[in-house]
Chain A
Amino acid sequence: MYLRIVFSREHFRAVVCRSLSAFMLILVPFPLHGQGSDSDRPVPILTGSAGYFTNVDGGSTSLAPIISPVFLLPLGDRWLVEARGTFEGEFTRKQGNGAYGGNVGKEVDYAQLDFIANRYVTVTAGRFLTPFGVYNERLYPIWIRSLQREPLIFPIATETSNGLMLRGGFEISPRAKLNYAAYFSTLSSLDKLESDRAAGGRIGFFFPRPKVEIGGSFRQLLQEERSRSVGFHFAWQPTGTMLNLRSEYAWSSGQGSGYWVEADYRLAQIPVWQSAMRHLEIAGRVQQFFGHLDADEAEEYSLPKTDTQHADLGVNYYFVDGLKATASYGREFSSSGNANLWSVGIAYRFVVPLGRVQ
């Protein structure tokens, strides 16, 4: 019964036809506008990040190289094709003391066409990151994140989506900005392009003066257990400091709930050893996950099996803007056992123009 519903050609055609119709309605009034000479135009670029990390979880060492290229192709004044893939290895010793071995995971994180319709609406079609919370869309790249381990609740409602999305960010008053995203994702079982049938959205309010952002997210799964997920996010950058505070909460009717609170601080304002301090950043995170999943569910969702708490402390040294060395220590407390979590590595962000830049 279930397979008959999700693979129905009629349903798939209906979704595709309606999505295309919506897209065409927007495209009609907007011819492509030239922007003058080539030197005034954005250039296609290949960017992304690469890194190499050594993780020790409860005494078990793993090596984790990762490369995540991002391709950006601007077209005209309003279009952007963007795609990101991730190749991530996880190599552990076989039988505890043999040679390191393992698999390299390959994913298409997003491959989307964006159309900036006007100052309020951008239309996105294709495969895109699910806008649930802010970690997935803004903080996930290894050169950005302050602590390399993802939050425990990160897998909740952040599976990549295939479908159509409307999003935008604009001023609603001199003191506040609104950002939003609303999407529909269709089911796909294609290898490397999997997605669930779901609908959802996120809304956020940013107050530039105190540099505070608050917001909420929602996702309704439209298949299988039809679970519902709700999330809230908060970010604050106190004026005059180099401190960032961020937090997210997520709850899912099928997976559990939890939160994380993270702070990172650039030491450039410390008045001693300036030559070293201006390169250093310290970061800390506390988090909890509440849930009881069986082994299969925990593996499927990449979530802990039971209630778990983490406390992490890390340090980053920025050689230059896009290159940093990172190290962290964390302690996991769980009813299935406590463990020390060490991580050390290097992350690099690259940018390669694919055309003349002058």
Chain B
Amino acid sequence: MTITARVFVRALLMASALVSPVSARAAENRAAESKVVPSIREATSADDPALRAEGEKRFQANCGRCHQFPHKFSPRVILTVERHMRVRALVSEDDMRVIIRYLTQ
């Protein structure tokens, strides 16, 4: 294994090791954090014009940069697609919550 590869693998290891304690320290927020995506009940109950406007804004800023507004999908499908987009397009957790609310209204 070359030095560059060794250094890189070790850097990945160290970064991974850092992730655990950071999350452990946030144990008090675990309950909230564990809900990486809001439940459908939580999402659909927020039928607020201001939230809708914010949702549209964030949809345009994140999703709308690559593709158009999607068809109406079922909330369970949207939860899957948004998780996919969180990984693929690196949509932030906060943006994802608001966008899911917007798309499931």
Chain A positions near chain B (C-beta within 8 angstroms): 11, 14-15, 18-19, 21-23, 25-26, 28-30, 33, 35-36, 39-45, 47, 70, 72, 74, 77-78, 80, 82, 114, 116-124, 137-139, 143-144, 164, 166-171, 177, 179-182, 184, 197, 199, 204, 206, 208, 211, 213, 220, 222, 235, 237, 244, 266, 318, 320-322, 351, 353, 355-358
Contact = CB atoms under 8 A, between A and B. Distances in A.
B86 A122 contact: yes
Interface of B: 1-2, 4-5, 8-9, 11-13, 15-17, 19-20, 22-24, 26, 33-37, 39-41, 60-61, 64-71, 73-77, 79-81, 83-84, 86-94
Contacts of A180: 90
Given A39-B76, A42-B79, A144-B66, A220 B20 contact: no
B79 A41 contact: yes
Contact of A11 (B1, B4, B77): B1
Contacts of B35: 33, 35, 77
A15 B9 contact: yes
B4 A124 contact: no
Nearest to B26: A118
Contacts of B66: 138-139, 144
A351 B60 CA distance: 21
A72 B41 CA distance: 23
Instruction: Please provide the 8 A-B residue pairs with the shortest distance between their CB atoms, ordered closest to farther.
Output: A169-B90, A42-B79, A357-B74, A22-B16, A42-B80, A179-B90, A43-B76, A33-B34
Nearest to A47: B81
A41 B93 CA distance: 17
Contact of A166 (B16, B76, B91): B16
